Structure 1
Amino acid sequence: MKEKILELLKNSGNDFLSGQKISEALGVSRAAIWKHINRIKEDGYKIEAISRKGYRIISSPDILTFEEIRNHLNTESIGKNIIYCDSVDSTNLKAKELAEVGQEHGTVVISEEQTTGRGRLGRNFISPKHKGIWMSIILRPDIITENISQITLIGAAAVQSAIMKMGVKTSIKWPNDIVLNSKKVCGILTEMSGEINHINYLIMGIGVNVNLDEEDIPLDLKEKATSIKLENGKSMDRKILLANILNIFEKLYIEFVQNDNIKETIDICRKNSILIGKDIQVINRGKVTTAKAIDISDKGELVIENNKGTIEHVVSGEVSIRGIYGYSE
């Protein structure tokens, strides 16, 4: 009921909406409406109420609910069902629980903070409250399991394009990090449930350091991690950035899953790669080798030239890549 009242108020714009009209539209008493209005205020909305005129929204809080981003969304399924949390241990864990009981494709679990967020290889992922975008998308793609790594590239391309759409130039560190001024601002963690020849579901966790301040970055991560705000000098609208990510992701995802076309994603990853043309380290099962990143293949593999001059194709998930210069994972 609270969400329906909020939707009516938002649709009325700057005009007042009378309690009587809300009552008639929703079939509830004006006393019930008044109680829900107070709950909406508790969520951080500033509501003006004038006798015989009604209610109108003066300002909205910086929260990432569906009601707050719906006007910026143009997707068919991705983000049309948002499970919003004030705080969770991990959005990936929550999304897995929901996927296991049949939650629909495209559902997004988003939280204002994570208390035990995780990155690749079990690393901790710092997720302070109201400062970033911490979300997980439930996906049910009808693809062969060997193409799962390409879904991660779609996530990276979507975040990269969404940030650049808002005027900030970032780069992609293949396959799953977004880098700004040689420091990480986003990590992507894709996890799968399925069998050898069948995918039950994928969970794509995306964490973006949007408006973190200096004190939010742990001392041991200051050389490796940053936020868009710290590097850009001003806060970014999290709602618009979130909607941009979901809009672009769905477009690239549909093109891949329905049309078997990953070209646009690969083009974005190539054009914005921080690795191509640079010397790198390939770490595989504890063994470190030096190589040069040559390209990203049409299938999304990292093409490298090893120290013996041999060309190799590295598949996401098999190795870790660390840049020798500047940024390192």
Structure 2
Amino acid sequence: MKEEIISLLKKNKNEFISGEDISSVLGISRAAVWKYMKAIKEAGYNIESVSRKGYKLISSPDLLTFEEISPYLNTHYIGKQIIYFDSIDSTNNEAKKLASSGCLEGTVIISEEQTMGRGRLGRNWVSPKFKGIWMSIVLRPDIEPMNVTKITQVGAAAVLKAIKEQGINAYIKWPNDIILNNKKVCGILTEMSGEINNINYVVMGIGINVNIDKEDFPKDIEEIATSLKIEEGKGIKRKTLVASILNNLEELYDEFINNEDIKTSIDICRENSILIGKTIKIINRSNVIIAEAINLSDDGKLIVKYEDGSIHEVISGEVSIRGLYGYV
């Protein structure tokens, strides 16, 4: 009911709507209206209350609810259902449960906080409350399972485009990290359920350090992690960034699924790569190979030149990439 009242207030923005009208439209008592309005104010909405006039919405908080994100969405299916949590262990875990239960493609699970966030290869991910974007998208692509890794690059391209639309110049560290000032600001974790020739679902988890302060990072990662706020020196509105990511994701994902083409996504990843032209370390468990990153292939593999001059294509999988002397 809170959501319905917020929607009414937004439709009547800059005008008062009486408690009696809210009561009549929603079929609830005046006492219930007062109770919900109190809860809405406590959630951070600035509402002016005037006797005999009613209620007027002055401003909305930067919450990541459907009501706050949807005005900025222009998608057909991604983000049309947003399941919102104040706190959760992991949005990917919840997304996999919902996907297994048959939720629609494009369902987004988003939380203000994760208590057990994780990244690629099981690494922990710091996810403090109200300071980042912690979300997972359920996808049901009709493609060969071997092509699922390409979806990670589609996601990276979508996030990079959205960040650039904020006027922030970022880069992609193949295959799934977004880099700002040589530090990680975003990671993407793609997980799949399927059989040999069939995909049940794909969950794309996206974690972005938006308004995290320097002191929020643990000492062991402060040299490799950053946030948009730290680098830009100002807070970023999270709900518009979420909408921009989902808008870009649907466009690039549809190109991949409908046309079997990821050219646009790969072009974005290639043109904004922080690795191409650099000497890197390719780490596979305890095995480390020194190589030069020279390009991305048209299907998203990293093309490298080994020290003996031979050219190879690297598939992401369980491989980690690092710069020769640091993270990038």
1:1-32 CA distance string (max 9 Å, x none): 22111101011111111223223322333332
Distance 1:307 1:287 in 2: 15
Partner of 2:73: 73
- Moved runs in structure 1, 4+ residues, more than 6 A? none
Partner of 1:11: 11
3-state SS of paired residue (2:298) = coil
Distance 2:183 2:207 in 1: 14
State which drifts further: 184-193 or 308-317. Answer: 308-317
Tell me, yes or no, if the aligned pair for 2:48 and 2:55 is still in contact at 8 Å.
Answer: yes
1:130-152 CA distance string (max 9 Å, x none): 11101111111111111101100
Partner of 1:214: 214
1:143-202 CA distance string (max 9 Å, x none): 111110110001111111111110110000000000001000000100011111111111
Distance 1:260 1:20 in 2: 54
Letter in 1 for 2:197: N
Distance 1:118 1:275 in 2: 24
Letter in 2 for 1:27: G
Partner of 2:128: 128
Distance 2:246 2:106 in 1: 10
Partner of 1:84: 84
Tell me, yes or no, if the aligned pair for 2:121 and 2:318 is still in contact at 8 Å.
Answer: no
Distance 1:99 1:57 in 2: 36
Structure 2 residue runs of 5 or longer lacking an equivalent are none
Letter in 2 for 1:177: D
Aligned residues: 328
How big is the shift at 1:318? 4.2
How big is the shift at 1:60? 1.5
How big is the shift at 1:101? 1.1
Identity %: 63
Which structure 2 residues correspond to residues 147-158 of structure 1 after superposition, within 5 A? Answer: 147-158=147-158
Partner of 2:322: 322
Partner of 1:201: 201
How big is the shift at 1:42? 2.3
Partner of 2:289: 289
3-state SS of paired residue (2:148) = helix
Distance 1:187 1:3 in 2: 31
Distance 1:286 1:103 in 2: 40
Partner of 2:246: 246
Letter in 2 for 1:176: N
Partner of 1:176: 176
Tell me, yes or no, if the aligned pair for 1:182 and 1:326 is still in contact at 8 Å.
Answer: no
Distance 1:228 1:75 in 2: 25
Structure 1 residue runs of 5 or longer lacking an equivalent are none
Q: 1:326 to 1:320 in 2, by over 3 A?
A: closer
The reply on whether 1:49 has 2:49 as its aligned counterpart is yes
Distance 2:246 2:33 in 1: 32
The reply on whether 1:257 has 2:257 as its aligned counterpart is yes
Distance 1:137 1:298 in 2: 25
1:51-93 CA distance string (max 9 Å, x none): 2212111221221111111111111111111111111111111
Partner of 1:58: 58
Distance 1:317 1:244 in 2: 28
Distance 1:114 1:27 in 2: 36
Distance 1:28 1:17 in 2: 15
1:204-247 CA distance string (max 9 Å, x none): 11000011111111111111111111111111111111111111
Distance 1:190 1:170 in 2: 21
Distance 1:113 1:25 in 2: 34
Letter in 2 for 1:202: V
Letter in 2 for 1:183: K
Distance 2:33 2:157 in 1: 43
Partner of 1:23: 23
1:255-277 CA distance string (max 9 Å, x none): 11112121110110000000011
TM-score, normalised via structure 1 length: 0.97
3-state SS of paired residue (1:125) = coil
Distance 2:35 2:223 in 1: 49
Distance 1:315 1:164 in 2: 27
Partner of 1:309: 309
Tell me, yes or no, if the aligned pair for 2:66 and 2:82 is still in contact at 8 Å.
Answer: yes
Letter in 2 for 1:15: E
Letter in 2 for 1:45: Y
Letter in 1 for 2:236: M
Distance 1:9 1:137 in 2: 29
Distance 1:233 1:308 in 2: 44
Distance 1:193 1:213 in 2: 36
Partner of 2:166: 166
TM-score, normalised via structure 2 length: 0.97
Partner of 1:37: 37
How big is the shift at 1:326? 4.2
